[in-house]
Structures are given as C-alpha cells and as structure tokens.
Structure 1
Amino acid sequence: MSAGLGDYRWVAFDSAGAVVSDGIPAGFFPTQADAEAWFAESWEEFADAGAAAVSLVHVENVVYGPMPLTPA
C-alpha cells in the first residue's frame, strides 16, 4: 500500500491486548495532526466501548502506542 490520504488511523485494544472494533469510532486521517486532534475529542467513546489502550498507525506502521486511556 502506498502512502496517501487517509493513511492514519487509531487501533483500540482491550485490557488483555486484543483488538477491539465493536462500538469503536472509525476514522482515517490524512495527517498525524488530524488524527490526534480527532482523538482528543473522541477518546471517551473508545473507553466507553471497552478500549483500554490505543495505538496510532500510519499505513501499517505503529507511530506510537499502545497508549493507555487511563491516567498512569
């Protein structure tokens, strides 16, 4: 897959580290800044859907994470 628009996305994980998709808001973003701004406004929806952590992914590479959704 070549890099292009919509290549940034969030992946959610439950407390056991399994990927969570049910009830998780989906979005693909053209830039890391766009993805982070959207997540800053949407993170509670991830937690409400059972996510314990998230990773930011660009194409197939993890930019960072998993990042817990609870205070350290």
Structure 2
Amino acid sequence: MTVTWTWTFETSSGDVTGRSETFESRGDAESWVGEAFGDLLEQGIDQVRLFDGESEIYGPMSLHPDS
C-alpha cells in the first residue's frame, strides 16, 4: 500500500484553500514546506496541516513568524 503525504492550505480561521502536491515521505513533505512557506504566505495561506493519506498527522501549523 502506497501512502502519500500532503499538506492542506488554510486561512487563519481554518478554511481549507487548497492542497499541496503529494510526497513519498514525511521528510520530503516537511522539507518542501520549509522551502515554500514564504511563497505560501504570499498566496494568502496562513497555516498548513500534514496528512498521511487521509490521516491528519499534525496541524494547524502557522506559517507566520512568532511575534
């Protein structure tokens, strides 16, 4: 069984606005979001959630710097 890792993109209120491409591993998914978070913020995405298939692994994770 192949499991795919994806991120959901959300507003600060939790409304889902999209989903990332799929990744073969959790490490690949986490590396990608670490590189892409600035672009995601520019697109109006406030937070993300990581999924392993249909199972939520963690989130919401804010993309905004801590104040």
The verdict on a shared fold, with TM-score over 0.5 as the criterion, is yes
Structure 2 distance, partners of 1:44, 1:27, is: 17
The Cα of 1:71 is off from its aligned counterpart by: 2.3
Q: Please report the TM-score for the alignment, with normalisation by the length of structure 1.
A: 0.81
Unaligned runs of 5+ in 2: none
Aligned length: 66
Deviant stretches of 4+, over 4 Å: none
Determine the structure 2 residue equivalent to 1:51. 45
Alignment RMSD (CA, Å): 1.5
Q: Please report the TM-score for the alignment, with normalisation by the length of structure 2.
A: 0.86
Match of 2:64 among 47, 51, 70: 70
Unaligned runs of 5+ in 1: none
Q: Percent identity?
A: 30
**Secondary structure, counterpart of 2:27 in structure 1:** helix
1:12 is the counterpart of 2:4:
no
1:27 is the counterpart of 2:27:
no
Deviations, residues 49-72 of structure 1 (Å, cap 9, x unaligned): 111110011100111100011123
